[in-house]
Structure 1
Amino acid sequence: MGSEHDEPLTPAGRLFLQPETKQIVHCAIGLKNPIQIETVKQEINNSSLIEHPRFRSLLVRDRNGIEHWRPIQIDIDSHLIIIDEPLPEGDAGVNLYLSDLSIQSNGLSMEKPLWEIHVLMSHNCLVFRIHHSLGDGISLMSMLIASCRKLNKPHDLPTLHLQSSATHRNSVRGGINLWKLVVTVCFCVVFAVEFVLRCFWIRDRKTAITGGAGVELWPRKMATASFLIQDMKTVKNAVRDATINDVLFAIISSGISRYLDSRSSNGLRDGLQLTGLAMVNLRKQPGLQELSDLMKSNSGARWGNKFGMILLPVYYHRSNSSNPLEYLKRAKAMIDRKKQSFEALFSYKIGDIVMSTLGPKFASYLNYRILCHTSFTISNVVGPQEEIMMGGNPVTFLRANNSALPHALILNMVSYAGRADMQVQVAKDIIPDPDFLAKCFEDALLEMKEQVTVKI
């Protein structure tokens, strides 16, 4: 029998509870000074996290097997995991710990609300583990940032000045004409057909980075590729109307080509397509919003899972046979077509319809098939542009990743204070050298920057 205070899960929340698509989001926050446990507890008690009903609710199922959120009393100590054991120094230690957490079998206890905070004492690092059914990366990052303050203005919340994909969509709608409408409809039809074909028949050719069914259960390794935002802006300005996201996708395409060159160049034809899945925020407001905005029912920001996905084709090219900036030009042309088709919004609407009519099991099956037929996943969350602090302790880095997927390669990027860190998560039996792959991505950006500098 359900309680009168129970609240049903959203369709997306139910999707992330299915065995094939269950996901936990990890957000690692590096701190400059040693962590005081009592201070951490005090910050949690005073934070937006405790105020949010999702984080104060237990997942329960009624007699029909339908999931609900049921409010309970929170015991902070049961959610705080103190790690005193020694780990390798620097990023290697944090990445080793995150790799172990990311294995699909390392889930969260269903006996308490679906979140934990792991405290890596030797690395001054907090790792937030939050079930994806509670919200997506934008929601969760917004909640965490709401508990921080600017380093140089301790009473002010962090600020973000971004342009969202929604802004682009609105500008397109404002100037729409018959020809644009025809092109958009054609792109939508092509997108729908492509997704259906991906679900059931078409799959990427097998390469040195290919995963597949069951790979989500394999052991993981992780490395960090770091980029300067100014370098990305320098490259962006070399191609008219290019964006940071265009540069990111160019880096991925070039970096993967570099890696394949060194590992499996024989037998790969130039121009071979590898397909990724890119996650796109669909909220109307740009960037991260304050928690109060996310929780308003009439806010376009809305808490929860509100993202679409696009099929992201990148192409293998031998590293010595292509102008580095060609990767950016190809990426921009491809992303422009994706924007014009409203592919991300369309995928969200289709997913919502499938969930509502055919249920989470069938929706999970379709999602799993798409993952098995593509080569990698990419997400990008934009963080604060200025330095921030948490509980008076300066934040040195913000990084994110999620539980393993059938992909052997998962890329999650978060920018913070002039730098962007991309977590390169791999199935180590398929990609045994993620540090080398991370360097391939870093070198790809530096080569593009060098090409721009030479032209200037």
Structure 2
Amino acid sequence: MESVNDLDSKQQALKPIRTKIAGGEEESGKKPYDIEEEEEEPLSPAARIFHEPNFNVYIIAIMGWKTKMDIQVVKAHFLRTLLKHPRFSSLQVKDDDKGGAMRWVRTKVDLDKHIIMPDLDQKTESADKLVEDYISDLSKTSMDLSNPLWEFHILNIKTSDAESLGVFRIHHSLGDGVSLMSLVLACTRQVSDSEALPTLPVQKSSNPNPVKSGGVWSLIKMVWYTFVDVLMFIATALFLKDTVTPLTRHRKKGVGSESRRFAYRTVSFDDIKLVKNAMNTTINDVVMGVSLAGLSQYLNRRYGEAKGEAVATQKKNNIPENIRLRATLLVNIRPSPGIHAAAFLFHRVPNHTTLCFSNIVGPIEEIGFYGHPLAFIAPSCYGQPHGLMVHFQSYTNKMTFILSVDEATIPDPHQLCDDIEESLKLMKDAVIARGIVKENLIK
């Protein structure tokens, strides 16, 4: 079996495709790839940002299945579904005549270069560790521009939470998380009805009219807080950095060059809704609160260890006062999300903050992917400047927290998963013990 690093060393020897505008041909008259049809559409500003040296981001979507995957079935269905999408059957071509500007060019896709099924050691003592290492190795590699920038890795090995796994690796320039998730879900059907598409929960507005809900004073406070937030955003983009903490990433070789590790933990969605109903808040508020509480426990332990304490207990606060620790939030709060970005902000703001959070809403019923029932889905990213990125992914009656960590910054991501899970349990126990809400009030 060729390792991921071996494959990447071969890819690095390939130079990005560069072509003249006329007919897509080099001066020699030979086409460097098999073009079906040329699209003169250039890459969008958002897509170009994801090719910036400081923000070359890839999406990793780990999908656990309840059965072994049939590679021939996957290939047959990809031809009829995924490859019909122009972004998955197009090259990103650099034009020398336009100063290296990039545009989409349709091409024929060789599925054998995109669907990868490694020969894994089925007798390994820890399948979970083997899979985790394999996915981590992907973060050390990149895809060259001589092929459409996506791959699907089939890992037919039984783990603690699935009979097999599929791992999508997609360059973020192909789309944002919501659009790509919608595309993947379009390839699935409900397990209970093989003809029915997945159903996503309806988002309810959580932004009431400030004048009607709280009067003029609420409107004045909203304007003031907005003004302060704008000033803080500008300051962050220009000079304001977070305090150096154990969560601060120290990059020596440049963004994306260090390996990342992906850890995830699945909890009960009913527990999250229980806390939500008790506090009269939103799901986003609960998962953010749970994550921050877990991070506090983790950070408290790391500071305690730095002081030489063998065990950092909950009773002692080891976190210094007045530290500035902020997060970039990439949370879907709009029915129709839009993209407004500039490369300067995409570089400066993430580099001046410590964490990043994002969420994606999943189906409310069990689904199958070309006949393979889905056990869980865990999307994440690599190539971003943060040492820690936390994704939230809902699916049926479960919520999965996915951590993308720089190994040098957070060497023990599973401990952080434990802290997040424990924080949810403490919140649930607290609201029940205080009689704020009864378990049978879950909706």
- Shared fold, TM over 0.5: yes
Look up the equivalent residue of 2:327 and give its one-letter code: G
Q: 1:194 and 2:194 equivalent?
A: no
User: 1:233 Cα shift?
Assistant: 0.8
Distance 1:259 1:370 in 2: 24
Aligned with residue 153 of structure 1, among 176, 189, 193: 193
Report the Cα offset of residue 174 of structure 1.
9.4
The reply on whether 1:437 has 2:437 as its aligned counterpart is no
Residues 44, 191 of structure 1: CA spacing in aligned structure 2 closer, same or farther, 3 A cutoff?
same
Give 1:325's aligned residue. none
Equivalent in the alignment of 1:219: 259
Query: What secondary structure, in the 3-state scheme, does the structure 1 residue paired with 2:55 have?
Result: coil
Determine the structure 2 residue equivalent to 1:386.
365
SS in 2 for 1:246: helix
Identify the residue that residue 293 of structure 1 maps to in structure 2: none
Instruction: Tell me the equivalent position of 2:92.
Output: 59
Report the Cα distance in structure 1 between the residues aligned to 2:194 and 2:155, rounded to whole angstroms. Answer: 25
Question: Displacement of 1:90 after TM fit?
Answer: 4.8
Secondary structure in structure 1 of the residue aligned to 2:109: coil
- 1:110 deviation in Å? 0.6
Check whether the contact 1:215–1:408 (CA below 8 A) recurs between aligned residues: no
| Cα deviation code 1:4-29 (max 9, x no counterpart) | 63211111011111111111111111
Q: Report the equivalent of 1:410.
A: 389
Range with greater deviation from structure 2 (402-411 or 180-189): 180-189
Distance in 2 separating the partners of 1:50 and 1:255: 41
Name which of 323, 327, 332 aligns with 1:281: 332
Q: After TM superposition, give the deviation of residue 368 of structure 1 in Å.
A: 2.4
Residue 427 of structure 2 is aligned to residue 448 of structure 1: yes
Aligned to 1:128: 168
Match in the other structure for 1:341: none
State the partner residue of 1:18.
Answer: 52
Once residues 216 and 31 of structure 1 are traced to their aligned partners in structure 2, the CA distance between those partners, rounded to angstroms, is: 29
* 1:136-215 paired onto structure 2 within 5 Å: 136-163=176-203, 167-169=205-207, 171-172=208-209, 175=212, 182-213=220-251, 214=254
Q: Return the offset for 1:180.
A: 5.4
Provide Cα deviations, 1:405-433, integer angstroms capped at 9, x if missing partner.
22221112211121111112222222111
Shift of 1:404: 3.4
Q: Which residue of 2 aligns with 1:233?
A: 273
Q: CA deviation at 1:175?
A: 5.0
Structure 1 pair 219/94, CA: closer, same or farther in 2 (3 Å)? Answer: same
Contact 2:53 2:255 in 1 (8 A): no
Q: Which residue of 2 aligns with 1:263?
A: 302
How does the TM-score come out when normalised to structure 1? Answer: 0.77
Distance 1:277 1:88, change over 3 A: farther
Does the CA contact (< 8 Å) of 1:33 and 1:393 recur in 2? yes
Q: Taking structure 2 as the reference length, what is the TM-score of the superposition?
A: 0.79
Q: Which has the higher contact order (CA 8 A, sep 6+)?
A: 1
Residues 44 and 88 from structure 1, CA distance in 2 versus in 1: closer, same or farther, beyond 3 angstroms? farther
- How far off is 1:249 after superposition? 1.0
| Aligned residues with identical type, % of pairs | 34
Q: Quote the offset at 1:91 in angstroms.
A: 4.0
- Relative to structure 1, the CA distance from residue 423 to residue 381 in structure 2 (aligned partners, 3 Å threshold; closer, same or farther) is same
Alpha-carbon offset, residue 188 of structure 1? 3.0
- 1:217 match: secondary structure: coil
d(CA) in 2 for partners of 1:16 and 1:117? 20
Q: Are the counterparts in 1 of residues 55 and 383 from structure 2 also a CA contact under 8 Å?
A: no
Deviation at 1:367, TM superposition (A): 2.1
Change (3 A) 1:168 1:88: farther
Question: What is the rounded CA distance, in whole Å, between the counterparts of 1:17 and 1:224 in structure 2?
Answer: 27
What's the counterpart of residue 72 of structure 2? Answer: 38
Deviation at residue 185 of structure 1 after TM alignment: 3.6
Q: Which runs of 5+ in 1 are unaligned?
A: 285-299, 308-347, 356-362
Tell me, in whole angstroms, the C-alpha distance in 1 between the residues paired with 2:45 and 2:229.
Answer: 23
Change in Cα spacing, 1:12 to 1:454, as seen in structure 2 (3 Å) is: same
Quickly say closer, same or farther: Cα 1:270–1:231, change in 2 above 3 A. Answer: farther
Q: Which amino acid aligns with 2:299?
A: L
1:400 CA displacement: 0.6
Q: Does 1:247 align with 2:280?
A: no
CA contact (8 A) 2:56 2:384 kept: no
Distance 1:383-1:110 versus aligned 2 partners, 3 A rule? same
The 3-state SS of whatever aligns with 2:368 is: strand
- 1:96·1:222 contact (CA, 8 Å) conserved in 2? no
For residue 222 of structure 1, report the CA deviation from its aligned partner: 2.6
Aligned equivalents of 2:138, 2:209: Cα separation in 1: 42
Native 8 Å contact 2:73 2:370 kept in 1: yes
d(CA) in 2 for partners of 1:272, 1:451: 28
Among 349, 352, 355, the alignment partner of 1:373 is: 352
CA distance in 1, matches of 2:73, 2:210: 49
- Per-residue deviation, 1:168: 3.7
1:110 aligns with 2:145: yes
How many Å separate the matches in 1 of 2:135 and 2:325?
A: 27
For 1:93 and 1:172, locate their aligned partners in 2 and report how far apart those are by CA, in whole Å. Answer: 52
CA spacing shift, 1:90–1:454, aligned 2, 3 Å: farther
Letter in 1 for 2:380: N
The one-letter code sitting in structure 2 at the alignment partner of 1:53 is: P
CA distance in 2, matches of 1:398, 1:37: 19
CA contact (8 A) 1:216 1:406 kept: yes
Deviation at 1:57, TM superposition (A): 0.9
SS of 1:112 mapped into structure 2: coil
Structure 1: which amino acid aligns with 2:120? E
Contact 2:61 2:168 in 1 (8 A): yes
Q: For 2:68, give the aligned amino acid.
A: P
Counterpart amino acid of 2:361? V
1:172 & 1:45 partners in 2: Cα distance?
48
Deviation at 1:93, TM superposition (A): 3.4
Higher helix share: 1
Q: Structure 2 vs 1, CA of residues 72 and 175 (structure 1 numbering), >3 Å: closer, same or farther?
A: farther
Q: Which residue of 2 aligns with 1:344?
A: none
Contact between 1:212 and 1:406, CA under 8 Å: does it hold in 2?
A: no
Structure 1 residues 23 and 174: CA distance shift in structure 2, 3 A: farther
